[in-house]
């Protein structure tokens, strides 16, 4: 029985492989969308005055043509893996006119259907009503040679009914930050949307007040090509609940379950309960992966929480340099609502809003079941984060006393201003029995800081004991640690340098960053020369980002 199952599985695999034989396309004119895209089954608003801000009703999307960026266009960089592994494209297409025009919004390949998505959201804790894709267009769907379905989206591609007071544009600095982070997070094991290409115009036509100082200046428009299986957010449901469109809410939820959650039986009576739990857990898993890397999203509003559990909308995010639990990368977040250490609680708050948005289509019994699930989520995320930190130390089992054990390490890091990424990486480099050897610690710049804390010998003692309890050999410890503790993360100062060069049309650094983050666990000579795994320069201290993008 088992054997025949395997034979059957192997045949199925061959059949699938034959169906989707891998084919790399080197002439972009031959590349086509799958037609029709699945989202065409959902109601689409077709207002001829597509680029006027308007409260859209009874639709999930609005059909909107792109407003291409103009002037002399340059391809700043591409993610070669995204092009080949997702879009079946030879990276050489990146410099062709068709592809550049495609990313700039002036060429829509066959089978495309350009739409902007309608959604609302809670921003900084307050209901903000209709938001929607104010500067993004989903162009179409592509089914790749592996049989995966991807939606291609341009960001910065012009005004839509959702533009509100915005101009529909994006500038180079924020676009570069989004592309690099999407790809770096992917390689760091964070569930995320992807980014494939970035095009910039030579003409400075976009007014931005970067520091909100009252002195706006003109910047160049840029467009990022983003990729995701779909772009639905908690806010996609919230707008339908708020506007009292329960039938459409049900249609959309059923559609998402059917198309994006194959493990859930789309005809099951308790499908919404199962779905709630799946979405909640995947978003909490995502947050746990952020906490493990010192990643802070910066704007964790409900419109920026994906229903597929993916990191979405990279804006004023930051990876922590010297550890500070209340790290806030976003200069507009005065209250620190979206600080690093608040992300788990904020996600739980967002998931409460998710349950509220679903309420109109739930029975009382289903609501009660969802309440029960919500009651388990706090412990779920705590355990996930604890496991993440234990694994960063080469351990696997949660034991009594671990909360205090982990807290002590973070307290020392914070008090000694030790680096988040550097400390864990360097812990993997020094033998556990040498961790209190001062001369060894000195050659590891971040570990040397934590090692100077008076509580360090005690902590090292506990660490050795924990390793012994789980029977972890030095070899196993290191091999586990070196694959979860990166050497390089996209730190704000590195991005600032790449942005400064890119503003002068020098794209070497941004392209190098993409190369380095393809394998953030492996030494890269050029990255080392630029100090990417060294102590950050002093000017990086306290660097913040604005939402102006
Ligand atoms: P974000 O903070 O980037 O997630 O954006 C929040 C909302 O503001 C979304 O609805 C965006 O589409 C919209 N938005 C941000 N920037 C612009 C812009 N330049 N033009 C139009 N809409 C924008
Ligand atoms: Mg957003």
Residue of 133, 303, 333, 453 marked catalytic? 303
Closest ligand to the CA of 155: 1
pLDDT at 4: 45
Question: Which residues are within 8 A (CB) of 415 and not within 5 positions of it... i.e. 6 or more apart?
Answer: 453
Average pLDDT over residues 462-484: 98
How many A from CA of 293 to the centre of ligand 1?
A: 27
pLDDT at 293: 98
How many A from CA of 122 to the centre of ligand 2?
A: 11
| Band of pLDDT at residue 113, cut at 50, 70 and 90 | very high
**pLDDT greater than 60 at residue 178:** yes
| Band of pLDDT at residue 189, cut at 50, 70 and 90 | very high
How many whole angstroms separate alpha carbon 280 and alpha carbon 311? 13
Place of tokens 């533009």: 163
Chain mean pLDDT for the chain = 95
pLDDT at 13: 46
Please name which of 413, 433, 436 lies closest in space to residue 423, comparing C-alpha atoms: 413
pTM: 0.95
- The pick from 67, 123, 166 for probing ligand 1's pocket by mutation, whose C-beta has the most ligand atoms within 8 angstroms, reads 166
Measuring from atom 1 of ligand 1, which residue has the nearest CA?
A: 313
Average pLDDT over residues 442-470: 97
Q: Do residues 413 and 420 touch, judged by C-beta distance below 8 A?
A: yes
324, HSE (Cβ side, Cα atoms, 13 Å): 14
pLDDT at 11: 44
User: Distance of CA 73 to CAs 178, 200, 478, Å?
Assistant: 19, 6, 47
How many whole angstroms separate alpha carbon 150 and alpha carbon 140? 8
**Encoded tokens for 438:** 């001062």
| Band of pLDDT at residue 204, cut at 50, 70 and 90 | confident
Cis omega before residue 36 (within 30°)?
Answer: yes
pLDDT at 21: 56
Q: What are the beta bridge partners of residue 198?
A: 77, 224
Q: Do residues 23 and 78 touch, judged by C-beta distance below 8 A?
A: no
Residue 93 gets the label, from left (phi > 0), alpha (psi -120 to 50) or beta, of alpha
How many whole angstroms separate alpha carbon 243 and alpha carbon 127? 12
Residue 495 gets the label, from left (phi > 0), alpha (psi -120 to 50) or beta, of alpha
pLDDT, tens only, 280-313: 999 999 999 999 999 999 999 999 999 999 999 9
- The pick from 134, 232, 306, 314 for probing ligand 1's pocket by mutation, whose C-beta has the most ligand atoms within 8 angstroms, reads 134
How many whole angstroms separate alpha carbon 510 and alpha carbon 189? 21
How many whole angstroms separate alpha carbon 400 and alpha carbon 384? 15
Percent of the chain with pLDDT over 70: 96
Measuring from atom 10 of ligand 1, which residue has the nearest CA?
A: 131
Q: Report the relative pairing of strands 115-117 and 73-78 from DSSP bridges.
A: unpaired
Average pLDDT over residues 333-360: 98
Question: Which residues are within 8 A (CB) of 471 and not within 5 positions of it... i.e. 6 or more apart?
Answer: none
**pLDDT greater than 90 at residue 359:** yes
Q: Do residues 131 and 303 touch, judged by C-beta distance below 8 A?
A: yes
Contact 308 CB / ligand 1 (< 6 Å): no
How many A from CA of 522 to the centre of ligand 1?
A: 36
- DSSP states along 207-262: EE-TTSSS--EEEEEEEEEEEES---BHHHHHHHHHTT-HHHHHHHHHHHHHHH-T
In total, the chain counts a number of residues equal to: 549
Q: Do residues 176 and 208 touch, judged by C-beta distance below 8 A?
A: no
How many whole angstroms separate alpha carbon 437 and alpha carbon 459? 14
**pLDDT greater than 70 at residue 528:** yes
How many A from CA of 128 to the centre of ligand 2?
A: 12
Question: Which residues are within 8 A (CB) of 435 and not within 5 positions of it... i.e. 6 or more apart?
Answer: 427, 441, 451, 460, 463
**Phi, psi (rounded to 5 degrees) for 126:** -120, 140
Measuring from atom 18 of ligand 1, which residue has the nearest CA?
A: 166
How many whole angstroms separate alpha carbon 251 and alpha carbon 60? 10
Least confident of 109-123, 198-212, 375-389, 462-476: 198-212
User: Distance of CA 242 to CAs 288, 296, 351, 363, 534, Å?
Assistant: 30, 29, 16, 18, 50
Please name which of 178, 128, 181 lies closest in space to residue 155, comparing C-alpha atoms: 178
Contact 316 CB / ligand 1 (< 6 Å): no
pLDDT, tens only, 265-287: 999 999 999 999 999 999 999 99
**pLDDT greater than 60 at residue 459:** yes
Contact 233 CB / ligand 1 (< 6 Å): no
pLDDT at 441: 87
Place of tokens 């006027």: 52
Contact 135 CB / ligand 1 (< 6 Å): yes
Q: What are the beta bridge partners of residue 513?
A: none
Q: What are the beta bridge partners of residue 170?
A: 222
pLDDT at 213: 81
**Encoded tokens for 449:** 């800081």
Q: Do residues 162 and 132 touch, judged by C-beta distance below 8 A?
A: yes
- Active-site annotation holds for 303: yes
pLDDT at 14: 43
Neighbours of 525 (CB within 10 A): 6
How many A from CA of 303 to the centre of ligand 2?
A: 6
Give the domain ranges of the chain: 23-234, 256-390, 391-482
Strands (E), 91-185: 115-117, 122-123, 126-127, 136-143, 149-155, 170-171
Q: Do residues 163 and 183 touch, judged by C-beta distance below 8 A?
A: no
pLDDT at 104: 98
User: Distance of CA 146 to CAs 24, 35, 89, 91, 542, Å?
Assistant: 12, 17, 13, 18, 44
How many whole angstroms separate alpha carbon 252 and alpha carbon 42? 7
Place of tokens 């890119």: 502
| Band of pLDDT at residue 215, cut at 50, 70 and 90 | confident
pLDDT at 544: 84
**Encoded tokens for 409:** 């390490």
Secondary structure of residue 402 in the 3-state scheme = helix
Q: Do residues 265 and 148 touch, judged by C-beta distance below 8 A?
A: no
514, with CB counted inside 10 A (0-12, 13-18, 19+), is: buried
**pLDDT greater than 70 at residue 8:** no
Contact 219 CB / ligand 1 (< 6 Å): no
Question: Which residues are within 8 A (CB) of 306 and not within 5 positions of it... i.e. 6 or more apart?
Answer: 193, 228, 231, 232, 233, 283, 312
Q: Do residues 366 and 272 touch, judged by C-beta distance below 8 A?
A: yes
How many A from CA of 235 to the centre of ligand 2?
A: 10
pLDDT, tens only, 375-417: 999 999 999 999 999 999 999 999 999 999 999 999 999 999 9
Longest CA pairwise span in the chain (Å):
73
Contact 167 CB / ligand 1 (< 6 Å): yes
pLDDT at 179: 98
């Amino acid at each position: 029985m088992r054997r025949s199952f395997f034979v059957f599985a192997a045949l199925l695999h061959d059949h699938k492989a034959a169906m989707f034989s891998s084919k790399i396309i080197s002439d972009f004119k031959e590349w086509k969308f799958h037609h029709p895209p699945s989202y065409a089954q959902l109601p689409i608003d077709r207002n001829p005055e597509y680029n006027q801000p308007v409260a859209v009703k009874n639709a999930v999307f609005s059909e909107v043509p792109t407003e291409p960026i103009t002037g002399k266009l340059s391809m700043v960089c591409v993610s070669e893996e995204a092009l080949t592994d997702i879009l079946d494209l030879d990276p050489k297409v990146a410099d062709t006119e068709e592809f550049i025009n495609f990313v700039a919004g002036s060429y829509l390949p066959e089978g495309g259907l350009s739409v902007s998505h309608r959604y609302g959201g809670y921003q900084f804790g307050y209901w903000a009503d209709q938001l929607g894709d104010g500067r993004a267009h989903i162009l179409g769907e592509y089914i790749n040679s592996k049989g995966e379905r991807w939606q291609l989206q341009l960001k910065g591609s012009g005004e839509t009914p959702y533009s509100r007071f915005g101009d529909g544009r994006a500038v180079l600095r924020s676009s570069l930050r989004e592309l690099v982070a999407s790809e770096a997070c992917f390689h760091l094991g964070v569930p995320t949307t992807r980014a494939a290409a970035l095009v910039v115009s030579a003409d400075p036509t976009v007014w931005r007040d970067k520091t909100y100082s009252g002195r706006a200046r003109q910047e160049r428009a840029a467009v990022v090509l983003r990729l995701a299986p779909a772009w639905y957010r908690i806010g996609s449901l919230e707008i339908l609940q708020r506007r009292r469109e329960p039938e459409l809410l049900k249609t959309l939820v059923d559609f998402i379950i059917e198309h994006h959650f194959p493990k859930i039986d789309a005809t099951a009576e308790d499908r919404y309960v199962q779905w709630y739990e799946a979405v909640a857990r995947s978003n909490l898993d995502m947050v746990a992966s952020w906490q493990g890397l010192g990643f802070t999203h910066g704007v964790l509003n409900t419109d920026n929480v994906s229903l597929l559990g993916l990191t979405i909308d990279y804006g004023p995010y930051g990876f922590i340099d010297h550890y500070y639990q209340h790290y806030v990368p976003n200069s507009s977040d005065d209250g620190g609502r979206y600080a690093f250490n608040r992300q788990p609680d904020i996600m739980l708050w967002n998931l409460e809003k998710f349950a509220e948005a679903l309420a109109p289509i739930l029975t009382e019994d289903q609501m009660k079941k969802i309440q029960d699930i919500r009651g388990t989520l706090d412990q779920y995320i705590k355990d996930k984060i604890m496991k993440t930190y234990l694994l960063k130390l080469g351990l696997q089992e949660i034991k009594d006393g671990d909360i205090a054990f982990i807290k002590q390490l973070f307290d020392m890091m914070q008090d000694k201003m030790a680096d988040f990424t550097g400390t864990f990486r360097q812990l993997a480099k020094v033998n556990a029995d040498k961790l209190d050897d001062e001369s060894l610690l000195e050659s590891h710049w971040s570990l040397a800081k934590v090692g100077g804390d008076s509580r360090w010998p005690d902590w090292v003692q506990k660490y050795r004991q924990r390793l012994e309890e789980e029977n972890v050999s030095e070899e196993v410890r290191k091999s586990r640690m070196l694959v979860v503790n990166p050497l390089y993360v996209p730190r704000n100062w590195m991005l600032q340098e790449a942005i400064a060069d890119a503003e002068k049309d020098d794209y070497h650094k941004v392209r190098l960053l993409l190369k380095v983050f393809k394998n953030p666990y492996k030494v890269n000579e050029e990255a080392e020369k630029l100090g990417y795994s060294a102590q950050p320069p002093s000017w990086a201290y306290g660097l913040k980002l604005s939402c102006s993008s």
